[in-house]
Amino acid sequence: MASLFHALLLLCFAYGFGLLITSVRAAIPTTLEGPFDPFTAPFDTNLRGNAVDLPDSDPRVRRRVKGFEPEQISVSLSSHFDSVWISWITGEYQIGFDINPLDPTRVSSIVHYGQLRYPMSYEAEGYSLVYSQLYPFEGLQNYTSGIIHHVRLTGLKPSTRYYYRCGDPSIPAMSQIYNFKTMPMSGPRSYPKRIAIVGDLGLTYNTSTTISHLISSKPDLVLLVGDVTYANLYLTNGTGSDCYSCSFSDTPIHETYQPRWDYWGRFMQKLVSKIPIMVIEGNHEIEDQAGNQSFVAYSSRFAFPSEESGSSSTFYYSFNAGGIHFIMLGAYIAYDRAANQYKWLEQDLANVDRSVTPWLVATWHPPWYSSYKAHYREAECMRVEMEELLYSYGVDIVFNGHVHAYERSNRVFNYTLDPCGPVYITVGDGGNREKMATEHVDEPGNCPEPSTTPDPYMGGFCATNFTSGPAAGKFCWDRQPDYSAFRESSFGHGILEMKNETWALWTWYRNQDTEKEEGDQIYIVRQPHICLGQQESPEQGHSDI
């Protein structure tokens, strides 16, 4: 009798738990229910379209160390869980008409680390460098950085917290003790709990709100999908501008104010000294200078797992975070089928084992699928070259920035709704100084002239009129496109949570809301059993959300 009672009790519990799961799924939509009718959230006119930069007098961006003590400390991932990079800067930058770069061999690049605060059992040594931003023209000031250090820690255990100090113990000039947690071992049931996705950050008061909310989400990893500091919205004398082109027309080269990079590194240290950050370049990182050099600050200040992932460039690389394989692509370097990036991407995708890393997530800066007027179809040449390859390997989600608003797509391929296409999410709403994107191309008078759409840094002209579908014969839709499921002009950030090998929860948070209030939320569900290129994992289809 007792066994029968227990069996009935277990049955009731299972039934109740099933109802709970059903109600959760009913409350939060899933991509299985899509495609969804396009929706536009009304614009809140109380939001500031132009954010205000933190001034150099703000204590959060001031230098707080002395001599060659480390500052701007950050953690980034290698290609697998057993390795991370620690980066920092020692010494002061110089800006002016007569600069004298520091000697990077003057200070060692040492990290002490271990699973205990005391004693730290291991030591690793890395390399250091100094970069300059040069404008050999009358009236323009030059810049040279402090000494930038990158040290790779190896032999780490998965899902383990490590403590570390960095610097040069011989001076002595060592940092305080910081800590980070390694990614879980790759596997179909093994994931970091929360991954923060943010784009187009800059360093404004709105950025401050974004980062505050992001920290409250307690992420295990941060992805920054381009446009980091917006240092190129400043002249070399520190005078700022609210737009990329309006204040630079008379200068011999588009200037930047490199100290904004140092300000950003100091501001972000509280987060990225313990939570790994992975960055891909945006157009504001181009930063042309003398000698036809560009992207020098971006390539110098961050550590990238390029070599570990078989890439020869800081502009594209890949890495694993548990059962997710992330592909970081460069939109401002050659991407055509004869280019090194494309060949690397083919090889990287071919090496992905979906039974080990079921989720395939790609990021780059300018979106392929956006219905905002700003940057509309700007990256069309990149889409033409790469979309079919990504689709054939079953990429699940794509994250972009560039457009200063939020937009989530239905599953789409070649502008056609497709249950096996990726979900494209634009999160260029981090809070930067430039104006928020509020106009849509489907609104009267907003469709741009096609010849004005290409970005000169991204190749030729590929955006022509649509040849099929509801917008056939037109360059823009006359209503919100079918591929656009949800769009809203607000600052914010997103959190990605993989629940298992087929279910992921995506949540977008708006800055103007409370820190726990969702602006948009959906379960993104993989269907490897029906979609080409998505290898079925051993436990495919099982869900325990």
Q: Summarize the confidence of residues 495-519 as an average pLDDT.
A: 94
Q: In sequence order, what are the residues at sequence separation of 6 or more whose Cβ sits closer than 8 angstroms to the Cβ of residue 163? A: 113, 114, 115, 116, 117, 120, 177, 178, 179
pLDDT range class, residue 533, cuts 50, 70, 90: low
Handedness of CA 451, 456, 460, 465 (dihedral sign): negative
- 222 burial level (CB within 10 Å; 0-12, 13-18, 19+): buried
What are 167's strand-pairing partners? 110, 174
pLDDT at 512 over 80: yes
Return the SS3 of 148.
strand
At 237-294, the pLDDT tens digits run 998 887 777 767 677 888 999 999 999 999 999 999 999 999 999 999 999 999 999 9
Angle value at C-alpha 236, between 235 and 239, nearest 5 degrees: 45
At 473-502, the pLDDT tens digits run 999 999 999 999 999 999 999 999 999 999
What are 128's strand-pairing partners? 149
Catalytic residues: 375
Q: Summarize the confidence of residues 165-188 as an average pLDDT.
A: 97
Q: Set out the domains of the chain in order of their start, with CATH numbers.
A: 193-532 (3.60.21.10)
